[in-house]
Chains A and B, each alone.
Chain A
Amino acid sequence: DAMVIQNPRYQVTQFGKPVTLSCSQTLNHNVMYWYQQKSSQAPKLLFHYYDKDFNNEADTPDNFQSRRPNTSFCFLDIRSPGLGDAAMYLCATSRNLVFDEAFFGQGTRLTVV
């Protein structure tokens, strides 16, 4: 059974139109991460939540926001998507912040038209 579920798997959005990607987990993990992965590149951490504590990476654009209403769900909001935001977005969870294995969802591939 899938433990980290991302919806939708594929998302097409218009330039400048807000879009929300969702992630849910059944692992009851404390930490949820959002990574951006562009073609042929390594995943790049955007931000993470430790429980309700939000931690934004210094170079994450303001255009990207996140919400975690409860332990199970986390959302990635892109306020005004640009063509450069087209990428695979990966959600991951881990029990704790450090050295634990991270469990990844299957990703959402975002296309901006």
Chain B
Amino acid sequence: AQSVTQLGSHVSVSEGALVLLRCNYSSSVPPYLFWYVQYPNQGLQLLLKYTSAATLVKGINGFEAEFKKSETSFHLTKPSAHMSDAAEYFCAVTTNTGNQFYFGTGTSLTVIP
């Protein structure tokens, strides 16, 4: 079975500061990992995904994430937060034999002017 844990249900950063959202996964087989963003009353939009290629993955809106097998982590970062980054962020995992995405409980990002 697969699962993800997102540490910190709420994260606040100042505009221009580093964004770091944490995600740790559990999987008995090589995982495929995703970060999605959800704005209020909207669906989920893919930010980036790791599917066993390069361990450092670049996504949209300046976000990137690094797959670290030794730490079972896939943390999401952005060097400089913008006000428009305020949203809910979900980490998700699946595998090449899975049939669904398993989502974390989400991290709400607040950007302080």
Choose, from B13-21, B44-52, B63-71, the stretch at the interface: B44-52
Q: A55-B99, A98-B96, A101-B34 are in contact. Are A107 and B43 (CB under 8 A)?
A: yes
Using Cβ atoms and an 8 Å threshold, which residues of chain B touch A103?
46
Closest partner residue, chain A, to B52 (CB atom): A99
Contact with A along B70-113 (1 / 0, CB 8 A): 00000000000000000000100011111111011110100000
B28 at the interface (CB under 8 A from A): no
Residues on A with beta carbons closer than 8 Å to the beta carbon of B44: 43, 90, 92, 102, 104
Picked from B32, B99, B100, B104, the residue with its CB within 8 Å of the CB of A42 is B104
> Given A42-B104, A45-B100, A48-B99: A90 and B43 within 8 A (CB)?
yes
Q: Give the docked Cα–Cα distance between A33 and B43 (Å).
A: 13
B49 touches A41 (CB 8 A): no
Q: Which size class do B's interface residues fall under?
A: 20 to 34
Chain B residues whose C-beta falls within 8 Å of the C-beta of A90 in the assembled complex: 43-44
Number of interface residues of A (CB under 8 A): 26
Interface bits B1-13 vs A (CB < 8 Å: 1, else 0): 0000000010000
Whether the pair A98, B99 counts as a contact (CB closer than 8 A) is yes
Q: Which of A1-45 contact B (CB under 8 A)?
A: 4, 6, 9, 33, 40-43, 45
- State in angstroms the CA–CA spacing of A111 and B11 once bound together: 29
The answer to whether A107 touches B103, judged by C-beta atoms less than 8 angstroms apart, is no
By a beta-carbon cutoff of 8 Å, the part of chain B in contact with chain A is: 9, 32, 34, 36, 41-46, 49, 51, 90, 94-101, 103-106, 108
A–B Cβ pairs within 8 angstroms, 23 of them = A6-B43, A33-B100, A41-B105, A42-B103, A42-B106, A43-B90, A55-B99, A88-B41, A92-B43, A97-B98, A98-B95, A98-B96, A98-B98, A98-B99, A99-B98, A101-B34, A101-B49, A103-B46, A104-B43, A104-B44, A105-B43, A106-B42, A107-B42
